[in-house]
C-alpha cells in the first residue's frame, strides 16, 4: 500500500504534552515498538529514505518513507509511505534474524522497491536502532486528529512530540496555529519536523 503523508511535527515540553492529553478527547491509546534499518554507511538516510518494522500488541507492519517526486504543497513535511502488513510472528522473526545474523530480507512492496533502486546494498541492511512509543490519538482544534507521542530510546532518553497529519495542509496550519497559541509553544525551528530515526540513532546505547 502506498499513500501520501503530509504532516507537521513538533517536539513538546513535557508539561505541554501532558496538558494536551488532558485537554482533548482521546480516540486511541496504545504502544508500539519501532525498529530502524539502514546500511552502516547510511545509504537510505543519504537519499532521504526511512525504513522500519513497527510492532503492536497483536500485529505488525514494515514501512518505508520515500521522497515525493510530485509534492502537492511546500509548507509541511511530505513523503510517500509504503506499507506492508506483517504478522507479529513474522515481524519478530525478521527482527531476530537481523539481530543474530546482522542481515534482513524485506519482501512485498518494500522488498520490490529496494531491489529496484538499491539492489547492491540490500545485503548490507541491518538493525541500527529502535524506539518504543506510547501513542495517543486525540481530536484537536477544527476536529483535526492529533498524534501525541511519548518515545523512549535505547540509552534511556525520552521525548514528547505532537504530529498533525492530514491531506489538507490548510487544516494542519489552522490546528497548529491554535495549538501554539493555546499551549504557548515555541516557534524555534529546531523543534519542528525532527526525524524519529535520527533521534533513535542519536540515542543508540553505545557498547
Please write the tens of the pLDDT for every residue from 5-34.
999 999 999 999 999 999 999 999 999 999
Classify residue 66: in a domain, yes or no: yes
* DSSP bridge pairs for 85: 61
Classify residue 207: in a domain, yes or no: no
What mean pLDDT is reported for the chain?
95
Burial class (CB in 10 A: 0-12, 13-18, 19+), 187: exposed
Classify residue 58: in a domain, yes or no: yes
Sequence-distant (≥ 6) Cβ neighbours of residue 27 within 8 angstroms: 137, 138, 139, 145
Residue 102 has a pLDDT of: 82
Classify residue 75: in a domain, yes or no: yes
Q: Which contacts (CB < 8 Å, 24+ apart) does range 67-74 have? A: 68/4, 72/4, 72/6, 72/169, 73/6, 73/169
Classify residue 174: in a domain, yes or no: yes
Mean pLDDT, to the nearest integer, of 153-170? Answer: 96
| Longest distance between any two alpha carbons in the chain, whole Å | 50
Count the domains in the chain.
1
Buried b or exposed e, range 81-107, using 16+ CB within 10 angstroms = ebbbebeeeebeebbeebeeeeebebe
Q: Is the pLDDT of residue 51 over 80?
A: yes
CATH number at 129 reads 2.40.320.10
Classify residue 109: in a domain, yes or no: yes
The beta-strand segments (E) located in the chain are 2-12, 25-38, 50-55, 60-67, 77-86, 126-139, 145-152, 158-165
7: closest CA among 68, 67, 71, 78? Answer: 78
Q: What is the DSSP letter of 48?
A: T
Classify residue 86: in a domain, yes or no: yes
Residue 206 has a pLDDT of: 65
pLDDT band at 187 (very low <50, low <70, confident <90, very high): confident
Q: Find the domain containing 30 and state its range.
A: 2-202
Q: Is the pLDDT of residue 123 over 80?
A: yes
Amino acid at each position: 500500500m502506498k499513500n501520501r503523508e503530509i504532516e507537521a511535527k513538533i517536539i513538546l515540553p513535557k508539561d505541554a504534552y501532558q496538558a494536551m492529553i488532558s485537554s482533548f478527547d482521546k480516540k486511541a491509546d496504545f504502544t508500539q515498538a519501532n525498529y530502524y534499518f539502514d546500511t552502516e554507511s547510511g545509504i537510505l538516510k543519504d537519499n532521504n529514505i526511512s525504513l522500519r518494522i513497527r510492532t503492536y500488541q497483536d500485529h505488525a507492519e514494515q514501512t518505508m518513507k520515500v521522497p515525493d517526486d510530485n509534492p502537492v504543497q511546500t509548507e509541511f513535511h511530505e513523503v510517500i509511505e509504503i506499507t506492508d502488513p506483517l504478522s507479529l510472528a513474522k515481524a519478530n522473526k525478521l527482527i531476530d534474524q537481523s539481530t543474530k545474523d546482522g542481515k534482513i530480507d524485506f519482501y512485498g512492496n518494500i522488498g520490490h522497491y529496494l531491489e529496484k533502486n538499491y539492489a547492491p546494498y540490500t545485503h548490507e541492511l541491518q538493525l541500527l536502532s529502535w524506539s518504543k512509543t506510547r501513542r495517543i490519538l486525540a481530536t484537536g482544534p477544527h476536529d483535526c486528529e492529533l498524534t501525541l507521542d511519548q518515545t523512549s530510546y535505547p540509552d534511556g532518553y525520552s521525548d514528547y512530540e505532537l504530529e498533525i497529519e492530514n491531506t489538507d495542509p490548510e487544516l494542519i496550519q489552522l490546528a497548529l496555529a491554535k495549538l501554539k497559541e493555546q499551549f504557548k509553544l515555541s516557534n524555534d525551528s529546531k523543534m519542528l519536523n525532527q526525524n524519529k530515526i535520527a533521534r533513535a540513532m542519536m540515542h543508540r546505547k553505545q557498547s
